[in-house]
Structure 1
């Protein structure tokens, strides 16, 4: 079996496991990259992988992700009898560098909305902030996803998981003016999913549009920080951590914690709830 035959089989394996097409595509691109820049997926050794990875100028999070991806792929090859070993087994462990959440403040969101951005970009901002949608989910919103009676929006998120979300009042006012039987962000140019005019834009397009708007507004954020604002503002206003986790659609609470920024005044308010204890003016001990 040659490389392309192996990758076709791996593609079928991933689709059978019901992985998202975006995940499958990204994994294939990466493994083809490895195959080209090393001695090949059938011959590469652990040492060669270590030296190749060490030469890459990846961010910490990318390095963590790629290490995991290599182990997943080569473990699969070994299980399928396509290699006798797994060269990615026990690659040097990458310590994940902590990243403090950098949510937008409400006044920054208002500054972005007032910076002269077009209406469709303002709607993207609203979907990011009010219901915490991801860029790929925003790109695919269709009027048919809205339950106009129950005021909910159904979206398909990571892992092809479908979730119905309530639409808050502030967003509902915006939703009223959106198409009921068409994509909200149609593609006027062909992309990897649709021919021109036959579908919607991609998540990368949403991120690019918002990144440009944020930069022009003079703000030091990335689009995903709007989603962090969703979690942070709910927490700031006393919403249960479990409700926030559900709204963010996270499997684990520790993932939600990566989006939450607790500010000094919240900590101060927490300290102020402590019962006051009596503080004696003197020790009461007699001098010897």
Structure 2
């Protein structure tokens, strides 16, 4: 079982396990009552159980705005804004170089998706501040704009959250960028392909989480006011 599922996702392993469990049960029930199903054991069921779905708590835009506003160091503020306004992953922000920037478009390379490159579009004001920062620091075209490690960036984000009394992770900022766009009426296809750059809509739908009753009533009032 391990051999045929090595390197597979947990859900795929669960599917293979369920198929083999059903197969041996069929043999036992129809041909051999004495057959012991090797998959019908607590250990096997635990080993190949489906992964529990995980849902991130979505932080309100006003809270993220306060986090950014109260971050006074320009470098840190830019890192936060690129994630919260551009939907960038922290790893993508840390790899960014001046040569990747053309006006408001950022080119991302060495991607986890396997693609050669992807594009990010950011607001004008952030693009202008980013270019000013590059000039002030005299960062060369092929130097990293933010030459810090992942752990240092993660710690910076956590401390920024502490200032306003929340537990903040880099992924919360990317998630909020997508959620705010979706709640503002941006088509889910744009959220998926442009902001999050997901390969399929189902992944994006899991990101966006559930609509609360308050949000549902707000949208109904907006549509039919």
Establish whether TM, by shorter chain, passes 0.5: yes
1:159 aligns with 2:108: no
TM-score (structure 2 length as normaliser) = 0.67
**CA–CA distance in 2 between the matches of 1:266 and 1:227?**
20
> Where does 1:179-190 land on structure 2 (aligned, <5 Å)?
179=134, 181=141, 182-186=143-147
**CA–CA distance in 1 between the matches of 2:223 and 2:83?**
36
Quote how far apart the aligned CAs of 1:218 are.
1.4
**CA–CA distance in 2 between the matches of 1:274 and 1:142?**
43
- Which is higher, the Rg of structure 1 or of structure 2? 1
SS across alignment from 1:255: helix
1:172 aligns with 2:127: yes
Equivalent in the alignment of 2:97: 142
1:221 aligns with 2:168: yes
**CA–CA distance in 1 between the matches of 2:113 and 2:126?**
26
Ranked by relative contact order (alpha carbons within 8 Å, sequence separation 6 or more), the top structure is 2
* Residue of structure 2 aligned with 1:253, choices 201, 209, 214: 201
Quote how far apart the aligned CAs of 1:237 are.
0.7
- Aligned CA distance change for structure 1 residues 202 and 114 (closer, same or farther; 3 Å): same
Q: Which deviates more, 171-180 or 250-259?
A: 171-180
- Aligned CA distance change for structure 1 residues 176 and 234 (closer, same or farther; 3 Å): same
| Residues 157, 168 of structure 2: 8 Å contact kept | no
> Where does 1:68-107 land on structure 2 (aligned, <5 Å)?
92-107=47-62
Unaligned 5+ residue runs, structure 2? Answer: 3-8, 15-43
Quote how far apart the aligned CAs of 1:263 are.
3.6
Q: Kindly provide the CA deviation profile for residues 228-267 of structure 1, in whole angstroms up to 9, marking residues without a partner as x.
A: 1111100111001100001201112121122214343331
Unaligned 5+ residue runs, structure 1? Answer: 1-44, 47-62, 69-88, 187-200, 276-288
Quote how far apart the aligned CAs of 1:131 are.
1.0
Equivalent in the alignment of 1:57: none
**CA–CA distance in 1 between the matches of 2:160 and 2:223?**
44
Quote how far apart the aligned CAs of 1:126 are.
0.5
- The structure with the greater share of residues assigned to helix is 2
Q: Kindly provide the CA deviation profile for residues 192-245 of structure 1, in whole angstroms up to 9, marking residues without a partner as x.
A: xxxxxxxxx333332222123223431133221111111110011100110000
1:115 aligns with 2:64: no
SS across alignment from 1:164: strand
Q: Kindly provide the CA deviation profile for residues 89-137 of structure 1, in whole angstroms up to 9, marking residues without a partner as x.
A: 9973233323333232122112212334522111110010111111111
C-alpha RMSD over aligned residues: 3.1
| Residues 117, 213 of structure 1: 8 Å contact kept | no
